[in-house]
A and B are shown apart, each in its own frame.
Chain A
Amino acid sequence: MKYLDEYRSRAPVERLVRAIERVATRPAVIMEICGGQTHSIVRHGLDTMLPELVELVHGPGCPVCVTPLEMIDRAHAIAARPGVIFCSFGDMLRVPGSDGDLLRAKARGADVRVVYSPLDALKLAEQNPHREVVFFAIGFETTAPANAMSAVLARKRNLRNFSLLVSHVLVPPAMEAILGAADNRVRGFLGPGHVCAVMGLEEYRPIAARHGVPIVVTGFEPVDLLEGILRVVTALEEGRSGVDNQYGRSVRDDGNRAARDVIDSVFEVCDRTWRGVGKIAASGYRLRDELRELDAEARFDVGRIAPVEPAECISGFVLRGVKKPHDCPAFGKRCTPETPLGATMVSSEGACAAYHAYAKEPRGKRLPLAGRDAVAP
């Protein structure tokens, strides 16, 4: 497949690894922001090829991991309503709420459907005029244009039976929160390539400047990730900070204007709670007031949601790269991929799930992470 295969090819990958080995003279703690980047690193085993000096810390860029418990519980409550068709991306189906996941809700009789695109949910609403179709609109900025478009079209087509349960999160405030924490160890970032394809590079410049860190906006294939790492390591060695674009074939400096216009016509920035991290100001999207009728939170009164987060779960620390899964007393015992306590064990990008598969086989300091390309959440 064009623009995939050549970026996975052994020869350029090995050249980049050797280049990183030549450049790195001291420990570098680098965070890849995006869950998809983590997934690719694990899938292609890139972490097993890097020199020991380079430590990759997996970031919070996984909407599965960070969707607040309260929102998951709300999703379950809405899905359980008779007559509701609850549509979701596959990722969310296995995320544990206070009482099981969406698959358990389905087993109890909820009509839960996996969709690939928000437009599929819209189609379901058109085909089922007597049912309420609710779409779980999660994601980072990458997914926002698509989710927003479903709202625009629902309005345009006057669909009365379609609504969105919105839980969008934004990357820059998350990076600020990570960098601002006293126990932060991260010194450089692989920036989120597909988020930037939409949003552009501008909002990352002040972050890089304020904290004196290099942020290299990076793609998702092995060549991209290794080139991104090479650029970050080089910048760290040279004491440079700032924003750099490795993913030029997909990311323009000012992103996708038309996509941002759609987002702005539907969403506005709001505070959001991040699971395991807490409330981060101005870190999410919600539907604008004039689109209130499309808001599933307003449309379905599910009463007070009192989420019960397992006390033992340290997902938040793991998400920020401050603790490792092995630091958790429940890891591998009460918390496993089959019985997850927190989202980092459910998601295949979650560090806990990744480490679990190899719990018995660590290879030196660098754990070859699980290749569970299986279920996302």
Chain B
Amino acid sequence: MCLAVPGLLTEVFVDGDVRMGKVSFGGVSRAVCLECLQDAVPGDYVLVHVGFALSRIDEEEAMRVFELLKELEPEELTA
């Protein structure tokens, strides 16, 4: 299950009764439903599954694992 991909929210609009957004995935865009992510704004990265935004990507959390890896092996990687 669960093929969900992060994309950049570039626009927010209303389609009839539904809050929608335009999300860009490396140069292709698609209309995405924002009803489950009411506080998402253009500039946010959102996780999209079957045309719905499920979550906003937290940049700080995203960097966490890379900080951890620096701690794991502080020496430079040798070839």
Contact = CB atoms under 8 A, between A and B. Distances in A.
> Per the CB under 8 Å rule, do A and B touch in the complex?
yes
Interface string B28-55: 0000010111100000010101111011
Nearest to B52: A146
B72 interface: yes
A143 B50 contact: yes
B57 A250 contact: yes
A139 B69 contact: no
Contacts of B66: 6, 12
B54 A142 contact: yes
B61 A248 contact: yes
A1 B58 CA distance: 16
A4 B5 contact: yes
A18 B73 contact: yes
B51 A117 contact: yes
Interface residues of B, number: 38
B71 to A, nearest CB: 10
B77 interface: yes
A63 interface: yes
A89 B2 CA distance: 12
A254 B58 CA distance: 15
B55 A3 contact: no
Nearest to A147: B50
A120 interface: yes
Contacts of B55: 197, 250-252, 256
A34 B1 contact: yes
Interface stretch (A77-85, A92-100, A188-196, A355-363): A188-196
Contact of B1 (A2, A36, A256): A36
A194 B49 CA distance: 9
A146 B37 CA distance: 12
Residue among B16, B50, B51, B77 with the highest chain A CB neighbour number at 10 A = B50
A142 B4 contact: yes
Contacts of B14: none
A108 interface: no
A366 B5 CA distance: 29
A120 to B, nearest CB: 7
Interface residues of A, number: 55
Given A139-B1, A194-B47, A256-B37, A249 B26 contact: no
A266 to B, nearest CB: 13
Given A142-B2, A251-B55, A116 B50 contact: yes
A140 interface: yes
A16 B69 contact: yes
A311 interface: no
Contacts of B2: 34-36, 61, 140, 142-143, 192-195, 220
A345 to B, nearest CB: 18
Nearest to A262: B36
Contacts of B25: 1
B62 A227 contact: no
Contacts of B62: 3, 249
A215 interface: no
A182 interface: no
Interface of B: 1-6, 8, 16-18, 25-26, 33, 35-38, 45, 47, 49-52, 54-55, 57-59, 61-62, 64-66, 68-69, 72-73, 77
15 contacts: A14-B77, A39-B3, A120-B51, A145-B52, A146-B50, A149-B35, A192-B2, A194-B4, A194-B54, A197-B55, A224-B65, A248-B64, A249-B61, A252-B55, A256-B55
Interface of A: 1-4, 6, 11-12, 14-16, 18-19, 34-36, 39, 61-63, 89, 116-120, 139-140, 142-143, 145-146, 149, 153, 156-157, 192-195, 197-198, 220, 223-224, 227, 246, 248-252, 256, 258-259, 262
Given A14-B77, A142-B49, A197-B47, 5 more contacts: A12-B66, A118-B50, A142-B1, A195-B1, A197-B55
A-B complex: 3 closest residue pairs judged by Cβ atoms? A117-B51, A194-B2, A248-B61
